Amino acid sequence: MDKSFNYLISPETIKLRGFSPKLKIAILASGEGSNFQELIDLSKSNKFDIDIRILITNKSDAGCISRAKKSNISYKIIKKSDNENNDCFEEEIINTIKNYDVELIVMAGWMKIMSSRFVNVFRSKIINIHPSLLPSFKGNNAIKEAIKHDSKITGCSVHFVEPEVDSGDLIMQAALPILDQDNLETISKKIHFLEHKILPLSISQAGFIVRNSFKGND
Ligand code: GAR
C-alpha cells in the first residue's frame, strides 16, 4: 500500500507515554487482529509499556488467536453460543477480565454489542476503535456506509465505551479523503494503517487517565 496518502490525526499527540509498571490491558477482538498485532509488536520491541494480559475472542476461527499463540499471550475463546444466554456470556467475559487484573479493556475489532450492565462494570475503563469518523456511520458496516453515502472524507475513531453503541467520549480520530479511484479495499487498508497509529496513542492517553483517576480516588 502506498503510505503517502493525505491524512490528519487529531489531537496531534506524537509520543506514547511511559508506564511504570507497565499498563495492564485486555484485548477483546473478533477478527483478523491486525490492531492487536500492532500492540504486540510495540510491546515486544519495548516501544510501548503495555502488558497484554489476555486476548478474549468470541470467534473460534478468528485470526487474532494465532497471533496470541505465536506471541505466548494468554487467550480465551468465549462464544455466546456456548452459553445459556447473553447474561451468562457476558458474565464469563467479566470474570475472565477480573481474573487477569487489567487496568484497561481495549476493543480492537470486537464485533459484539455489549449490554449496559457489562459497560457499567468497567465504566471508563473500556475503549473501542471504530472505522469511521464518529458520530457518523456507527455499527458494523461503517466503511461500506461511508462509501455508499458518497462521503468525501472518512477515517477512524477511538472512544471510551458507553452503553449506547459507538458513542462515548472521543480520544483520538484520524481523517482521510475518499478519492475517485478508491474502493472498499483501498479505503479499508488506509483506515487500518491509520488505526495502527491512533490505537496505541489512544491506549496511552486512556491509560494515563485511568491511572490518574485511580490515584485521585485513593
Ligand atoms: C477495525 O477496522 C476496527 O475499526 C473494526 O474492525 C476492524 C478490525 O481489524 N471495528 C469495528 O468495526 C467495530 N464496530 P483487525 O481485526 O485487523 O484489528
Residues 6+ apart with CB under 8 A from 185: none
In a domain, 207, yes or no: yes
Measured in Å, residue 35 CA sits from the centre of ligand 1 at 8
Testing ligand 1's pocket by substitution, the residue of 28, 66, 129, 136 carrying the most ligand atoms inside 8 A of its CB is: 129
Pocket residues: Cβ below 6 A from ligand 1: 29, 31-36, 108-109, 111, 129-131, 140, 142, 156, 191-192, 195
Q: Distance from CA of residue 7 to its chain's centroid? A: 20
Domain of residue 56 covers 20-131+159-175+192-216
In a domain, 62, yes or no: yes
CA 155/CA 5 separation, integer angstroms = 13
The verdict on residue 144 lying in a domain is: no
Q: Which three cell numbers stand for residue 95?
A: 470474570
Tens of pLDDT along 77-116?
Answer: 999 999 999 999 999 999 999 999 999 999 999 999 999 9
Total domain count for the chain?
A: 1
Measured between alpha carbons, how far is 90 from 120 in angstroms, rounded to an integer? 12
Give which of 137, 157, 158 is closest to 147, Cα–Cα.
137
Domain-located, residue 42: yes
CATH of residue 170's domain is 3.40.50.170
Domain for residue 118, yes or no? yes
Q: Atom of ligand 1 at shortest distance to CA of 191?
A: 2
* Whole-structure pTM value: 0.96
pLDDT (tens digit, 9 = 90+) per residue, 172-202?
999 999 999 999 999 999 999 999 999 999 9
Does a structural domain hold residue 14? no
Per the domain annotation, does 142 fall within a domain? Answer: no
Residue 97 belongs to some domain of the structure: yes
